[in-house]
Every structure is written in C-alpha cells, then in structure tokens.
Amino acid sequence: MQIKQNRFTFPKKEKLTSKKIINDIYLKGLPIKSFPLIAKYLIVETNDVLCKILITVSKKKFKRSVDRNRIKRLIRESYRLNKSLLFTFLGKNNLSVVVSFAYVDSTIQDFQSIQNEMVKILHKIIQNLSSDNE
C-alpha cells in the first residue's frame, strides 16, 4: 500500500462497490453521527487501498436526481480534500477501513458546513481506531 502525500485525488479504486462489504458495513459497522452526515465504518483485511468509501443520499428526501448528485459531489469533494487526515493515520498503523457516508438532512447544505462535518467525522474515526488499537 503506497501512501501518496499531498495528492488530492479520488481514484476509482477508492470507491466501495462490493455488495458483500456494503452489507457488512450496515450490519457490523460502527456509526458516527455529525449532522447532516452519518458515517459507518468497518475495519477490513488489507486491500489495495487504505480506505474505500460509499456515499448515499435518500431518494425519498430528494426526488430530483440533480439534487442527489449535487449533494454527492459536495460530500465527495469534502472527503477528497480532507482524506489525508485519515490516510496518514491508517498508513502509520497498517490498517484498512471502509466507510459509508449517508446524507440525512432534507435540505441542501452549503459546501463549508459539509466540509466541517466531514473533518469532525474523520477525526472521530481516527480517535475510535486509535482507542481500539491500544
């Protein structure tokens, strides 16, 4: 597993697509709430990447796909800019995780508020993982 410092990219291999792992996240994953996001994460066997993510937005709350896609873009961008926090911790501790982000608000938040909550969630994941490793 290579750690690329200061690379703000989001390659396809970091997207979670395995149905088995997605089911495991929702059954066994540990939740972290930070409105308007809820994240569930799960430690997995070493993959080709340190972290894979899944982003979901409810079709019940946002009927128009334009709105759902906008929210997913905002979440993906905030993750992309701040994932180095999580990647440095995972690289040092030789861990691999999968994370699911669900958007639970019924209105579209601005980018800055989503980014602030993303940073809080990533810090909470790091804190929980570090307490589990001790």
Residue pair 117/36 in contact (Cβ under 8 Å)? The answer is yes
Higher local confidence (pLDDT), 4 or 80: 80
Q: Is 5's pLDDT higher than 60?
A: no
Determine the residue type at 33.
K
User: Mind giving me the DSSP string for 2-64?
Assistant: ---TT-----GGGB---HHHHHHHHHHPEEEEETTEEEEEEE-S--SSSEEEEEEE-TTT--S
Instruction: Tell me the pLDDT of the chain averaged across its residues.
Output: 92
Say what percent of the chain tops pLDDT 90: 87
pLDDT tens digits, one per residue of 49-70: 999 999 999 999 999 999 999 9
Q: Which domains does the chain have, with CATH numbers?
A: 13-133 (3.30.230.10)
Q: pLDDT digits over 97-108, tens only?
A: 999 999 999 999
Q: Return the higher-pLDDT residue of 1 and 39.
A: 39
Work out the pLDDT band at 133, boundaries 50, 70, 90. confident
pLDDT digits (tens, 9 = 90+) for 7-53: 788 899 999 999 999 999 999 999 999 999 999 999 998 668 999 99
